[in-house]
A = this chain, B = another copy of it.
Amino acid sequence: MSAEVGVGGAGRDARDPLAGYRDRFVGAESSLVYFDGNSLGRPLKVTGPRLARFVDEEWGGRLIRGWDERWFDLPRTIGDDLGRVVLGAGPGQTAVGDSTTVLLYKLMRAAVAARPGRTEIAIDRDNFPTDRYVAAGIADECGLTLRWIDVDRAAGVTPDLLAAAVGEQTALVVLSHVAYRSAWLADVPELTRIAHDAGALVLWDECHSAGSVPVALDDAGVDLAVGCTYKYLNGGPGSPAYCYVARRHLDTLTQPIQGWMGAVDPFLMGPTYAPAEGIRRFLSGTPPIVGMLAVQDMLDLVEEVGMPAVRAKSVELTSYAVEVAESLLGDHGGVLASPRDPAQRGGHVTLDHPLMREVTAALWQQDVIPDYRDPGGLRIGLSPLSTSFAEVERGLEMVRATLDGLST
């Protein structure tokens, strides 16, 4: 980045080979500064017309026949697309459906049942609340103990911290690939190896990485993963989540919510439940077809661009945000709460300042939309294909002006 120090946002956009993709998103022309693509990505312009066409032609035209023709397999075909394009997962291991929370529940229950006699679920203190809440609930109901993995403020979950928390008592380790607040990027292969050395299974939450940071679930030997599709995968508010179960576990792991869509023959409707072979056994009820369509549009785009290029742009964006933030806010008491090294950072940057709650509220009134996370964190999510460098610059100038206004 050093060669570009001093080049402004507009200059960087002019040199950015991916700059043109921004026009594919709704709102590209707007002056709004959007720093929350890591909470809800912008829609693609093709998505609205696609949904309308789906309603009138596919739902309205094919009606119930649509299930036989396409929808029944869609959780797995989109799952395979996700695996190929963003997750580094071979076919047959990924399925779309339910919310992240429900999938966390299913996979954690499956995991602890596969490690009978072990008494602990290990999870890091900085993990997303839902992950912690689900783990705590399962620990309660299964008579297990929740073991907290400490987090180093300056290094995230390190191998040493994980190694200190796991042992022969550990059934399952639950970690996030990118920490939702700080953006610390975990070393997935190394931490997975440490969990495996202790004989535990490991579940990775990819909510804040998939679509901005390359994921390599198969290569890293991951057992289980979940993630959402409405952040960097632009599926829309509440679009369904996905789960990954490594092929070697598909014959043995089972989940507790036994519904007809996970049964070996859903239309036999027989007296007893037997789980399907393969990843379909992790489905339960009727899959949310309308809700998963938009994800396909974004997967098509990410495949066109390629995850390495997406990640390179993401690194440029977050590095520029760090550079501008330090230049504009350094003398205002703003503190970088995310890793400085881009190799250790996901797709967002968090800036701490005691006034950030008030700053966020004031910025929203001026069409600058970051996120706020307690305590005192302004979270700047930079969606690689829809955020411009000029947007980063303008937004951070507004942060400084707002801090100036609040401090006087």
Measured CB to CB, the residues of A under 8 A from B are 25-27, 32, 34, 36, 39-40, 42-43, 47-49, 51-56, 59-61, 63-67, 71, 97-102, 104-105, 125, 128-130, 132-134, 136-138, 141, 228, 230, 236-241, 256-261, 263, 266, 268-273, 284-291, 294, 364, 369, 371, 373-374
Q: Quick one: which of A32, A61, A130 has the most chain B CB within 10 A?
A: A130
Q: Which residues of B contact A132 (CB under 8 A)?
A: 271, 273
Contact at B241–A285, with CB atoms within 8 Å?
A: yes
Apart from the given pairs A65-B364, A104-B259, A138-B256, 16 other A-B contacts in the complex at a CB distance below 8 Å: A26-B60, A26-B61, A51-B51, A51-B290, A59-B237, A99-B284, A99-B286, A101-B259, A101-B286, A102-B284, A105-B256, A133-B263, A134-B258, A228-B286, A236-B290, A238-B287
Contact at A291–B238, with CB atoms within 8 Å?
A: yes
Closest-by-CB residue of B relative to A373 is: B269
Q: Which residues of B contact A371 (CB under 8 A)?
A: 64
C-alpha spacing A268/B260, complex, angstroms: 36
Contact at A43–B64, with CB atoms within 8 Å?
A: no
Contact at A273–B136, with CB atoms within 8 Å?
A: yes
Chain B nearest CB, measured from A51 CB (Å): 4
> How many copies of the chain does the oligomer comprise?
2
Q: Name the contact of A100 in the complex, choosing from B32, B60, B285, B294 (C-beta under 8 A).
A: B285
Chain B nearest CB, measured from A215 CB (Å): 20
Contact at A98–B102, with CB atoms within 8 Å?
A: yes
Contact at A273–B100, with CB atoms within 8 Å?
A: no
Q: Which residues of B contact A137 (CB under 8 A)?
A: 256-258, 273
Chain B nearest CB, measured from A408 CB (Å): 27
Q: List 10 interface pairs A-B (beta carbons < 8 Å), by A numbering.
A: A59-B237, A99-B284, A99-B286, A100-B286, A133-B259, A133-B263, A137-B256, A238-B287, A290-B291, A290-B294
Q: Which residues of B contact A61 (CB under 8 A)?
A: 26-27
Q: Which residues of B contact A52 (CB under 8 A)?
A: 48-49, 51-52
Contact at A374–B272, with CB atoms within 8 Å?
A: no
Q: Which residues of B contact A239 (CB under 8 A)?
A: 288, 290
Q: Which residues of B contact A373 (CB under 8 A)?
A: 269
The 6 closest A-B pairs by CB, nearest first: A99-B285, A101-B285, A101-B259, A26-B60, A48-B55, A291-B291
Contact at B369–A269, with CB atoms within 8 Å?
A: no
Contact at A374–B269, with CB atoms within 8 Å?
A: yes
Q: Which residues of B contact A49 (CB under 8 A)?
A: 52
C-alpha spacing A263/B137, complex, angstroms: 12
Chain B nearest CB, measured from A361 CB (Å): 11
C-alpha spacing A47/B52, complex, angstroms: 8
C-alpha spacing A63/B236, complex, angstroms: 9
Closest-by-CB residue of B relative to A234 is: B59
Contact at A129–B270, with CB atoms within 8 Å?
A: yes
Q: Which residues of B contact A65 (CB under 8 A)?
A: 364, 369
Given A52-B52, A99-B286: A134 and B26 interface contact (C-beta under 8 Å)? no
Contact at A98–B100, with CB atoms within 8 Å?
A: no
Contact at B67–A55, with CB atoms within 8 Å?
A: no
Closest-by-CB residue of B relative to A274 is: B133
C-alpha spacing A129/B273, complex, angstroms: 8
Chain B nearest CB, measured from A20 CB (Å): 19
Q: Which residues of B contact A55 (CB under 8 A)?
A: 26, 43, 47-48, 51, 236, 294
Contact at B48–A99, with CB atoms within 8 Å?
A: no
C-alpha spacing A136/B257, complex, angstroms: 10
C-alpha spacing A364/B400, complex, angstroms: 65
